[in-house]
């Protein structure tokens, strides 16, 4: 098998993994998976396997970092050494430091930070297996972990990416598409408020393509949000409500 596939999308518009351009990868989410965390979530998004744990609100250490009028949110994104094909160094890379910041900034607008002054909320995200789009899947899992911890939130943030692969705008890029495609647009959303908390772009798109990618990513977010809420509800409700 060649390292680089000849075509990422065939003439019928079918991608390498058999999806249409506007289809998500299979998604499975669980909450309450870590007994030692205040809130936790696990997501399988395509071949991504990601665990998130939330701890807090708790006392800030060191104390001088405490904020007088709001909670301190700290996020750590980390890829396990075995999460990619070639073993990764366990030391935090520049990319992991950047994505830790991206996750924190995506979550902050959704949390009532002012309710818990002089405390800290720590969110740890561990990527066990990576397959493209880990930042979006991590945000989706981290937001659920915070919700599972019982922290008051305006909305549960959800994230999804769209991008451009061989002149086609596609939803939810997998690893090969992420590496070989020409653009990637990760987006995080508070669906109930219709408010975007993260929007990035890597690559080159026309204005029309960018709008198409953003709209496609928002639609993807809404689909994942329904799975998020169903999963959270299922933890607390024995009998799921019958869909109308």
Question: Which residue ranges form the domains of the chain, and what is each CATH number?
Answer: 27-233 (3.30.230.70)
What's the average model confidence in pLDDT over 100-128? 97
User: Which among 197, 107, 92 has a CA at the least distance from the CA of 145?
Assistant: 107
Using CA atoms of 122, 128, 134, 139 in order, give the dihedral in degrees to the nearest 10.
Answer: -30
CB count, 10 Å around CB of 117? 14
Per-residue confidence (pLDDT) for residue 236, from 0 to 100: 79
**pLDDT tens column, 190-240:** 999 999 999 999 999 999 999 999 999 999 999 999 999 999 999 877 545
Q: Which two tokens stand for residue 140?
A: 């989706």
Q: Which residue has the higher pLDDT, 61 or 140?
A: 140
Question: DSSP assignment of 28-66, as one string?
Answer: EEEE---TTSSEEEEEEETTEEEEEEEEEEEE-SSGGG-
Mean pLDDT of the chain: 92
Residue 27: phi and psi, rounded to 5, are -130, 135
**pLDDT tens column, 166-180:** 889 999 999 999 999
Per-residue confidence (pLDDT) for residue 7, from 0 to 100: 81
DSSP reduced 3-state for 216: helix
Using CA atoms of 188, 205, 207, 136 in order, give the dihedral in degrees to the nearest 10.
Answer: 0
Largest CA distance in the chain: 60
Question: DSSP assignment of 102-132, as one string?
Answer: HHHHHHGGGB-GGGSTTEEEEEEEEEEE--S
Q: Could you tell me the pTM of the whole model?
A: 0.92
Spatial distance between the Cα atoms of 32 and 239, rounded to a whole number of angstroms: 18
In the structure, what pLDDT confidence band is assigned to residue 5 with cuts at 50, 70 and 90? low
Residue 26: phi and psi, rounded to 5, are -60, 140
What's the average model confidence in pLDDT over 31-38? 96
């Amino acid at each position: 098998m060649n390292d680089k596939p000849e075509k990422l999308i065939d003439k019928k518009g079918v991608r390498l993994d058999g999806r249409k351009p506007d289809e998500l990868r299979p998604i499975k989410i669980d909450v309450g998976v870590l007994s030692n965390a205040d809130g936790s979530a696990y997501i399988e998004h395509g071949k991504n396997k990601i665990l998130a744990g939330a701890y807090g609100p708790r006392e800030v250490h060191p104390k001088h970092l405490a904020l007088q009028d709001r909670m301190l949110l700290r996020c750590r994104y980390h890829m396990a050494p075995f999460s990619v094909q070639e073993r990764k160094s366990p030391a935090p890379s520049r990319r992991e430091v950047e994505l830790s910041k991206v996750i924190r900034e995506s979550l902050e607008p959704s949390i009532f930070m002012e309710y818990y002054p002089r405390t800290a909320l720590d969110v740890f995200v561990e990527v066990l297996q990576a397959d493209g789009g880990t930042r979006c899947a991590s945000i989706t899992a981290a937001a659920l972990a915070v919700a599972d911890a019982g922290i008051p939130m305006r909305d549960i943030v959800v994230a999804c990416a769209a991008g451009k692969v061989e002149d086609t705008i596609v939803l939810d890029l997998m690893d090969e598409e992420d590496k070989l495609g020409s653009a990637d647009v990760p987006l995080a959303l508070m669906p109930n408020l219709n408010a975007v908390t993260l929007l990035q772009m890597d690559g080159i798109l026309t204005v029309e393509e960018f709008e198409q990618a953003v709209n496609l990513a928002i639609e993807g977010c809404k689909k994942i949000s329904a799975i998020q809420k169903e999963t959270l509800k299922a933890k607390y409700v024995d009998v799921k409500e019958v869909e109308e």
